[in-house]
Structure 1
């Protein structure tokens, strides 16, 4: 359940004063997360429009405050890639944290699909290439996202897509730079891999790749590949039955694209296509 922003007039004025003293002018609310809300902000020195993610630690669970929030702050300020939302500044005021980020002027991928339906193959190819390059960049840095979904793919004014929201992200390499398996159940189950849903230790990189496959399916087909209302049925569909591409989609989408979707949504994590092989696939190279 989302935590609703319940600022009193006095609290809002104090917040506006705090941001103003740090060089930002506070604007209207544009979004809401589990433990946060998002507003427009203007950077007064140059008029740049940004988004400010506002987190009140008093409203959040202890595990989020002590474990996930520090990771999000560390990772969001570490990364720098044209297809990852850029963090300009992080401000602290008592129990509140304010993350100043790029503003996505065209909303997110879910909003686009809900409005327009499935995308053309060329648009899907461009956007999927960009988000896959972002995920490869993260993996090369030793970072996994663990919550890739359409809502976390933002669309900038120049139509460039950016990966956002590092609330479940983590560094997956130990001090010897060996990959560490994860056991945390996180993210949205509609985008979660079979290995994560089983509750077994999983490689977070292959889970990210599965999530990318779900996003690609949605872009191409305009709907979810699996019904996530029942986890047992979801797992059965993922592992035993696999995805079903509508005939109307097969008629307009190239075989190379459909082949890649099947390679990514491979239930056996060891057989699933690797991130670099996705970028070198016949579909993305043409």
Structure 2
């Protein structure tokens, strides 16, 4: 079973020269560069680049319609209008709508506002200071511990449950789209809602548009058959959990740039193969966690746990692990106590024996 390590995995980078947003900005006059943005924000650095957008870290320096205060650091997604096709417009509009809908959810990425001028659209959002899972995993020397991996995945599922309750599926869950909001990496949030699926009340349960990232795609998308988007999210969560525990992707990876043969091979592995869950690091992973992984990566979408069911399974696993730890500590304390008693009794007998011998010797004299 081929698998691809995420150690030092290349980041998603644009072609040479940067994204259209960055190239357009570099080629425009100082007066036109980020015209709607520069009155309210000071751009500090580039955080990431995508196909038609660049994300910057910025600081608020002037008032806008947003209620956020001055001096706040934010992330700003700058999308160039030049070359933006209809699909890109729809994806951007979809992302903004979803961010607005989730504004009341504490587990969701905070949306501030949208600005626009003749060249760009600017989506101002919460700054994710702790980086994304791919970066953290790539720079770590070891995989995540089981408790840490479960905590991250539980937070992902909590965010997904809030989405799914609103009839929204993310459809692009991957290491790059899971970020830590803080430097201590205690708060996990999802980003990039451009590919999400929004089901209207009473709408069709199934989606037909294949989308997402190949290495995280469920068999149904690979086979181009109708699928339940929420079940696709569960599969992708399984891929993320596998990667956190092993620092490898369960089915390997490929992109269109690698060529058709590589993509076909990846698709065959996703459809026909099961990931390795034994040997090496897997010998240290509890069976209950492997059962969770197997359920999330079930080839049949209806067999996968929903986001809320996965949360319940994780809570049960964590509770059992805590009980096992407590039982282990109790056993250690009993062993230590027994050893202390044995040493005490042994020392007492030796002392008594010594005194008796001495007394006998003194009496004999």
With normalisation by structure 2, the TM-score equals 0.72
The answer as to 2:198 corresponding to 1:198 is no
Residue matched to 1:36: 53
2:165 to 140, 146, 150: 140
The answer as to 2:306 corresponding to 1:283 is no
Deviation of residue 232 (structure 1)? Answer: 3.7
Instruction: With a CA cutoff of 8 Å and minimum separation of 6, indicate the structure with the bigger relative contact order.
Output: 2
For the aligned residue pairs, the C-alpha RMSD in angstroms reads 2.0
Higher helix share: 2
CA distance in 2, matches of 1:284, 1:273: 17
1:20 to 8, 27, 38: 38
Residue matched to 1:161: 188
The answer as to 2:243 corresponding to 1:218 is yes
Number of aligned residues: 282
Structural mapping, 1:1-286, within 5 Å: 2=14, 3-4=19-20, 5-6=22-23, 7-8=25-26, 10-11=28-29, 13-21=31-39, 23-44=40-61, 45-65=69-89, 67-80=90-103, 81-116=105-140, 117-157=142-182, 158-159=184-185, 160-172=187-199, 174-176=200-202, 178-229=203-254, 230-281=262-313, 282-284=316-318, 286=320
CA distance in 1, matches of 2:263, 2:55: 31
Deviation of residue 171 (structure 1)? Answer: 0.7
5+ residue gaps, structure 2: 1-12, 62-68, 255-261, 321-365
CA distance in 2, matches of 1:85, 1:135: 12
Mapped contact 2:197–2:229 kept (Cα < 8 A): no
With normalisation by structure 1, the TM-score equals 0.91
Mapped contact 1:16–1:26 kept (Cα < 8 A): no
Deviation of residue 246 (structure 1)? Answer: 4.7
Deviation of residue 154 (structure 1)? Answer: 0.8
| CA 216–90 in structure 1, closer or farther in 2 if over 3 Å, else same | same
* Higher CA-based Rg: 2
CA distance in 2, matches of 1:36, 1:250: 39
Mapped contact 2:74–2:125 kept (Cα < 8 A): yes
| CA 73–12 in structure 1, closer or farther in 2 if over 3 Å, else same | farther
Mapped contact 2:34–2:120 kept (Cα < 8 A): no
CA distance in 2, matches of 1:240, 1:18: 51
CA distance in 1, matches of 2:85, 2:210: 16
